[in-house]
Structure 1
Amino acid sequence: MEIERDEFTDWRGRSIQSKKHGGTRGATFPCVVEVLENMVFISNASNFVTYFKSSMHYPIAQAANMVTNFMGTSFLFTIFGGFFSDAFFTRFWTFNLFGILELVGLIILTIQAHNTQLQPPTGRKPSSSQSAMLYTGLYAMAVGVGGVKASLPALGADQFDPSNKRLISSFFNWFFFSLCTGGLLAVTIMVWVQENIGWNWGFKISLMVFCLALCIFFVGCPFYRCKRPGGSPLTRFLKVLASTIRNRKASPQEKNQNEVDGRSHNKFRFLNKALVDNTISSAQVEEARTFLGLLPIFASTIMMNCCLAQLQTFSVQQGSIMNKKLSRGFEIPTPSLAVFPLTIMLVSIPLYERMASLFFKSSSPKGYELHPLRRIGTGLVLASGSMAVAAVVESMRRRAANRNVTLSVFWLVWQYLLLGFSDMLTLGGMLEFFYSEAPDRMRSMCTALSWCSTSMGYFLSSVLVSVANSVTQKFGAAWLGGNDLNHNRLDLFYTLLCVLNFLNFLNYMYWAKRY
């Protein structure tokens, strides 16, 4: 308890009280806030490609890349948000800073959607000033999202004792439940508003919902316990690397082996040479060793998120030209297809939590500790399967279109379902794994690796689209070169993603076994 009083404070920087601060009560507020924050983020991100194409009149390929770049930037900035909360600010103040920035971005986008003079005329691309306003609002929101998603889950997990892995795992399961709840509200209520009432009201409602999220976050102020920032983790990491390189010719006898933690003694042993430098402690070496060990797992999940990017881009465009009628003239918006995997995930998370609880009681803590790696691996397999299904469905859709038959949009449910499960297993597993395995003073930054993997996946998607078009154009026609999917070869692009993701799974298995 004395250690906790030194490491943690309340939101004003004062000493904490064990009966008042932290625990389930303090962790509940970040979960509730995440429902509303993710509702705003997903409702816009899942349907931005339609807004860019129909309201701002960008070509389909450019609109798709704009969405993936926006998503990529949002998740990339989680690393910076995590760095700030580990090094300079508490996670509480990091959320406030980036939350205000996300709010500013939403205000700019709302103003542009409300004023038709700030939008291009039909059939014309946006002017320089209109594009500048769009990108300013878009990337202010993206940077804000990055900081919010980096600080919020780590703040929630900080409310529990890090040594209690069962409670930490349970928190991340319910945090992911909150993510899914927000996503479900986004692809039903919010997307319907955007499609039927207009983006003007869509942005206005997003703005009001996010303001409500900020208010709820502030209501929880008396109950949070906030971890003191521990200085720049990157500076310590780079210092260890520099010392290792400087002393690379040191003999094993010069290293103080007794100071090295035996738990990871055989991992990255070359870092032990940094101990020759008297300014480097064994704790700093162990921190660098642990962080390096997480990076291969992080890199192995990027390809899965490249597949996930297709749900916000090409899958939306597929659905827009398919039969969306249900009954009596009602049409389901394509982004709302995600309601099926989200609903199943919302039901499965409490069941998963119950099964995990029973498993934890009947197994050793060590066996449970490795469980997130198996969870991530299962998610990667499902991602590869989803792309195989997507390729088959798109091939069927093209053949039907050539016969003047419009295939039902519900054929896309399968790829949404498989990728939804894949995301639940992979992202949920990564959040738990990186937080639990992270060095104590790098928890925000390491947790942010989960979101950064998503970022890299979205950027990789943009790169693969450009490369695929460039290469296939030399052999006849670009797979994704036109605005008409009936003449494109999206099925071949999905097949490419399936193969690449399977190879990535084999790579993951290698690193997971070595961890």
Structure 2
Amino acid sequence: MEQNSPHLILSSDESMYVLLDNCLYTTDGTVDYRNRPANRLKTGSWKACFFIIATASFERLAFFGMSANLLLYFKYELNEHSATASRNLSNWTGACYIAPLFGAFVADGYVGKYWTIASTSIVYAIGITLLTLSASAPEWMSTLFTTDAYNVTDAQTIICFTALYLVAVASGGLKACIAAYGADQFDDNDKAEKKFKSSYFNWYYQMMNIGNLLAHSLVVWVQDNVGWDWGFGIPALAMATGVVLFFSGTWFYRNHKPRGSPMTSFFQVVVASLKKKNTIVPTDALLLYEISGANSTITGSRKLDHTTNFRFFDKAAVETPSDRAKGSINPWSLCTVTQVEELKTMLRLLPIWITGIIFSTARSQMDNLVVLQGSFMDTQVGKSSFNIPPASLSTFGILSVIFWVPVYDQIIVPLTRKLTNHPNGLTQLQRIGTGYFISIFSMLSAGILEVIRLNIVKRHNYYEISPIPISIFWQVPQFLLMGCAEVFTLVGQMEFFYEQVPDSMRSLGSALRLMIIAMGNYTSSLLVSIVIKVTTKDGKPGWIPDNLNYGKLQNFFWLLAVLSLINLGVFVVVAKWHTSKRVVG
């Protein structure tokens, strides 16, 4: 007998062999970097998450280092009007958050999360480097184009937006996968590891906000006081550091193998249901088709229990004599209950997903029109000569997040757990709704401040004066409120979409959450366009003119507050209707 093999020493007792094997390796199908079953002692858990969370933190530093002050860069460096700059920022930010849908499709279906993150992070770093070059030496940009057609600013603008949209495309792979990849490091079938997953999402968001904090404080200050070359150079360096860190953790990661296009299974259910549209669904769910055994036919997915909504699609799981006429089952005619339930799960997510758009629209103003509002206020700190950049006020929102994450994890969860008997204190939907409620007061705070600011302008005839003598620190309450709302809503959404999508589509779950941010930015851009068109008729300055002292920006914040209130009411209704997915066993 081989004395150096613990498996063979115990081979006389087959059950003990299986027990040891199950203890040594993960049971969720994950593999290590050599494509071997993942050893739970050497891979995954917090030791792997360190590299993933660090990469995400540096990516946040890079992303917000670019975007936090981008509105003012468009306006003052590229000479764009306020409304144009706001729309361009919203459209680019939206592209950054809609691209993850395609990144998730590639990661889950064909490449896997590891290689998606690895490849797109490199392209991401290249894009920021190009942006830095466009800001550091705009004069040489004109040599790339016909001088009769483009001036230096035109050339700089073209290179700038080329770089920004290169970043947007690359961020699709990174953003779609990074949060889900960290959660993948905990085995859902291991109770000891699974209980850490909820805390993982809290601390993941916490560390991302530390990167965000550095971006809105240090990087924004550098952009306003040193120059845009260094201001964009620091994010480029941060992204390069994140790339190195991610590759450094390769030996510790657990990887799910790609499972092919997730859409194929959905189409099979739809086609099979249509073929059997006249078939009667039995009242007993046990009569519906499902394979025997513990595993699903869908690689990487656990079996799901039957639910009663969207009963039309149950027809796909009704077995008829013709289904076995050729000796084997045609998946386009007969589908398992789990396949049907995975489609139902995605359909049930849509109403929750839609209600997130208005919250994201309101939140997007903290890096958009709120920054513009701050640029017309006194940025001097006390009696010193130091002026705080308007975009740096976002640090108070980030500090609010950093404060509320441990408070929520260590205080609110234990207290609410005693009241609700829910292991996480609040359900994911209750947590999301609480954030929706708090965000209303952030918009009200922004609107009230603008009313006060415009009253000072009117009283002292400060229409042509900028900044006016009202401290920018009066913006702090709206940032603190939105930061608190983020901890409830955004972290709740992160966990909700990861848990509620089918097991084989976790990247898609992250992408759906990020698409909410994209749609919020596009909605913001659309609202601004509508407001500009409606309020500037007959030569009026409108709500959002270049000189806000002549505008009525508070009306835009009131509009968002009303929309947020209506949205909260809709959310309560759809949350009561929602049925969570139920895993068999």
Q: Which one of 487, 492, 501 corresponds to residue 424 of structure 1? A: 487
- 1:293-330 per-residue CA deviation (whole Å, 9 max, x = no partner) reads 11211111110110111111111111111111113111
Q: CA distance change for structure 1 residues 368 and 481 in 2, over 3 Å: closer, same or farther?
A: closer
The question of whether the paired residues in 1 share the 8 Å contact of 2:420 and 2:426 is answered with: no
For residue 316 of structure 1, what is the amino acid of its counterpart?
A: V
Give 1 or 2: higher helix fraction: 1
1:167 is matched with 196
Contact 2:404–2:484 (8 Å) recurs in 1:
no
1:147-162 equivalences under 5 Å are 147-162=173-188
> Which residue is 1:232 aligned to?
261
Distance 1:12 1:478, change over 3 A: farther
Mapping 1:169-248, distance limit 5 Å: 169-248=198-277
> 2:404, 2:487 within 8 Å by CA — same for their partners in 1?
no
Amino acid at match of 1:424: V
What's the counterpart of residue 454 of structure 2? Answer: 398
Normalising by structure 2, report the TM-score.
0.82
What is the letter of the counterpart of residue 457 of structure 2?
Answer: A
* 1:320 corresponds to which of 372, 375, 395: 375
Q: Pick the aligned partner of 1:30 from 31, 44, 52.
A: 52
CA distance in 2, matches of 1:429, 1:81: 22
Contact 2:272/2:334, CA 8 A, preserved across alignment: no
RMSD of aligned residue pairs (Cα, Å): 2.5
- Shift of residue 127 of structure 1? 5.9
Check if 1:415 corresponds to 2:478. Answer: yes
TM-score normalised by L of structure 1? 0.93
Match of 1:59 among 81, 96, 101: 81
Post-superposition offset of 1:372: 1.5
> SS of 2:527's equivalent?
helix
Separation in structure 1 between the aligned mates of residue 275 and residue 554 of structure 2, nearest angstrom: 51
Equivalent of 2:351 in 287, 292, 296 = 296
Whether the 8 Å contact between 1:61 and 1:480 is mirrored in structure 2 is no
CA contact (8 A) 1:46 1:311 kept: no
Question: RCO greater where, 1 or 2, for CA within 8 Å and sep 6 or more?
Answer: 1
Map 1:466-477 to 2 at 5 A: 466-474=529-537, 477=540
1:348 aligned residue: 404
Cα deviations across residues 100-158 of structure 1 (Å, max 9, x unaligned)? 2211211210111111215689xx98665443322210111112222211111111000
> Across the two proteins, how many residue pairs are aligned to each other?
513
Aligned to 1:483: 546
Q: Distance in 1 between matches of 2:34 and 2:260?
A: 19
Is the 1:193–1:201 Cα contact (8 Å) retained in structure 2?
yes
Instruction: Give the aligned residue type for 1:42.
Output: F
Name the counterpart of 2:326: none
Distance in 2, matches of 1:368 and 1:110, equals 44
String of CA shifts for 1:412-455, please: whole Å, max 9, x gaps.
Answer: 11211111211221110001111122211111101221111111
Q: How far has the Cα of 1:241 moved from its partner?
A: 2.6
Task: Indicate yes or no: 2:37 matched with 1:15.
Answer: yes
Q: How does 1:350-389 map to 2 (within 5 A)?
A: 350-355=406-411, 358=414, 362=418, 368=424, 371-389=427-445
1:364 Cα shift? 8.0
CA drift at 1:359:
5.3
SS class of match (1:406): strand
How far residue 355 of structure 1 moved from its aligned partner, in angstroms, is 2.7
| Contact map agreement 2:396 2:476 (CA 8 A) in 1 | yes
Structure 2 CA distance for aligned equivalents of residues 355 and 369 of structure 1:
10
Residues 209-240 of structure 1: per-residue CA shift (max 9 Å, x gap): 11111111111111000111122112322332
8 Å CA contact retained: 2:185, 2:253: yes
What does 1:92-131 correspond to in 2, within 5 Å? Answer: 92-117=114-139, 129-131=155-157
Residues 375 and 357 (structure 1), Cα distance of their counterparts in 2 relative to 1, 3 Å cut: closer
2: CA distance, partners of 1:182 / 1:299: 28
Distance (whole Å) between structure 1 residues aligned to residue 275 and residue 426 of structure 2: 35
Matching residue of 2:8? none
Letter in 1 for 2:442: S
Aligned-partner Cα distance in 1 for 2:246–2:47: 12
Quick check: 1:513 aligned with 2:576? yes
1:338 — aligned with what? 394
- Percent identical residues: 32
In the alignment, the residues of structure 2 paired with residue 432 and residue 484 of structure 1 have an alpha-carbon distance, to the nearest angstrom, of 42
CA contact (8 A) 2:75 2:81 kept: yes
* Contact 2:544 2:552 (8 Å CA) reproduced: no
* Deviation, structure 1 residue 506: 0.6
Consecutive unaligned residues in structure 2, runs of 5 or more? 1-20, 290-302, 319-331, 463-467, 579-585
In structure 2, distance between residues paired with 1:283 and 1:311: 42
3-state secondary structure, aligned to 1:147: helix
Q: Does 1:440 align with 2:462?
A: no
